[in-house]
Amino acid sequence: MKIFNTRNQLREYLDELSPIGQTIGFVPTMGALHEGHLSLLARSRGQTDVTVCSIFVNPTQFNDPKDLEKYPRPIASDTEKLEQACCDILFHPEVGEMYAGNEHWHLDIGELEHLLEGKFRPGHYQGVTQVVYKLFDIVKPDLAFFGQKDYQQFLVIQRMVDMLDLPVKLVMCPILREPDGLAMSSRNIHLSAKDRQHALVLSKTLDWLKNNFDRNRIAALQEECFDRINAEPGVHAEYFEITDGTDLHPANSKTQNIVALVAARVGNTRLIDNVILRSRAIVHGS
């Protein structure tokens, strides 16, 4: 695996590949890699000639400096995992390489960035679009792979790609879960053994909803799920919403693509999860 820390070196290397028609798959990450990330890499390797993974803990998408500080950065074991997963290229820049000074530009993608996660993490998606735009500009991927766990992030990035007409196709890959149902996340390592058990209420509630979904009882089901999560000791639900999967507006009995999304604090750790309840052509590239 080739490792690059500067954009110029990475670009020079990739420029040599394009004349020979190699397609580029890109998996942007913030490291602390788990099976979920590796499944994105496997997908990229299956669909493209060269897979680039980036590891960059992007400061502009953290609205809580403590969260940024404690974000795990196990670069040695991440590098080993990428080697084992036969990743072709790792891009691992320093903050100064990605941001020149105090940048303030922001792309207005409309209300999507202010709903759900956007309400609880103001500015988060401005940071995400900034860094993903920069990474796309450096890597120039044909396909870019993102996890369904960050469902709203996928919609936000798709909106950016559509608005700017960027020549990249986004692929949404399914959520990977631990055997007991917990959605894989880099943040799970912060859960104590007790919190880890309490956290299962998220996937159990989503599962229950999937099995009991009735499009004529959306408001009641949403309330029931929110209450179930809040009833779990040590768990505080921030939101539980049953939405139109295309724009995250509240779903109604006629909505075609329906997604339930949840965010909750479990002890000191904030977790998100979701389930697609009804789907008509929202999942890109699958």
Known catalytic residues?
37
Residue 101's identity, in one-letter code, is G
58 touches ligand PAF by CB under 6 A: yes
Q: Tell me the longest C-alpha to C-alpha distance in the chain.
A: 58
Q: Which stretch binds ligand PAF (CB under 6 A): 25-33, 197-205, 234-242, 262-270?
A: 25-33
* Shortest CB 131 distance to ligand PAF, Å: 5
Q: Give the torsion sign (CA, 31, 35, 36, 42).
A: positive
Q: Which tokens is 265 given?
A: 């604090």
d(CA 77, CA 84) in angstroms, rounded, equals 11
> Among 258, 284, 199, which Cα is nearest to 234's?
199
30 touches ligand PAF by CB under 6 A: yes
* Shortest CB 60 distance to ligand PAF, Å: 9
Site for ligand PAF in 151-190 (CB under 6 A): 153
Tokens 């500009």 identify what position?
Answer: 137
The answer to whether the CB of 146 falls within 8 A of the CB of 153 is yes
The one among 132, 183, 184, 229 contacting ligand PAF by CB under 6 A: 132
128 touches ligand PAF by CB under 6 A: yes
Q: Which tokens is 218 given?
A: 């959306």
* Shortest CB 124 distance to ligand PAF, Å: 9
Q: Which stretch binds ligand PAF (CB under 6 A): 65-73, 128-136, 201-209, 223-231?
A: 128-136
152 vs 257 by CB, closer to ligand PAF? 152
171 vs 242 by CB, closer to ligand PAF? 171
Q: Which tokens is 200 given?
A: 């299962």
| Alpha helix stretches (DSSP H) within the chain | 7-17, 35-47, 65-70, 75-84, 95-98, 117-120, 124-139, 151-164, 193-198, 200-212, 218-230
Number of other CB atoms surrounding residue 26 within 10 Å: 27
35 vs 223 by CB, closer to ligand PAF? 35
131 touches ligand PAF by CB under 6 A: yes
Q: Which stretch binds ligand PAF (CB under 6 A): 24-32, 92-100, 190-198, 267-275?
A: 24-32
61 vs 222 by CB, closer to ligand PAF? 61
Site for ligand PAF in 189-228 (CB under 6 A): none
Q: Which tokens is 126 given?
A: 């401005």
28 touches ligand PAF by CB under 6 A: yes
